[in-house]
């Protein structure tokens, strides 16, 4: 399953850090962050609990960029 989320991030480097953090989250098959459109596309592993995984993605993103936001 793929979903798109609106994000808030200050710079392209920060967006790249968010993308790497999202990709490293359990339950995420792939993730891309587009700084220009302020969107994150996430592809989830089969049988992943989307809401729980996205809570972890947000936590992991905040570890690398504490002022980022993902609108779930």
> Is the whole model's pTM more than 0.75, yes or no?
yes
CB 40 within 8 A of CB 18: yes
Instruction: Tell me what pLDDT residue 67 has.
Output: 87
Q: How many angstroms separate the CA atoms of 51 and 67, rounded?
A: 21
What is the side-by-side order of every strand in the sheet holding 2-8? 28-34, 39-44, 2-8, 69-71
Instruction: Tell me what pLDDT residue 72 has.
Output: 87
Condensed to tens digits (0 to 9), the pLDDT of residues 13-29 reads: 999 999 999 999 999 99
Condensed to tens digits (0 to 9), the pLDDT of residues 27-71 reads: 999 999 999 999 999 999 999 999 999 999 999 999 998 888 999
Distance of CA 69 to the CA centre of its chain: 9
CB 72 within 8 A of CB 58: yes
């Amino acid at each position: 399953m793929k979903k798109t989320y609106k994000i808030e991030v200050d710079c392209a480097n920060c967006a790249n850090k968010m993308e790497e953090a999202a990709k490293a989250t359990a339950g995420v098959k792939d993730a891309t962050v587009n700084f220009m459109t302020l969107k994150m596309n996430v592809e989830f592993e089969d049988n992943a609990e989307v809401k729980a995984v996205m809570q972890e993605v947000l936590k992991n993103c905040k570890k690398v960029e504490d002022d980022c936001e993902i609108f779930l």
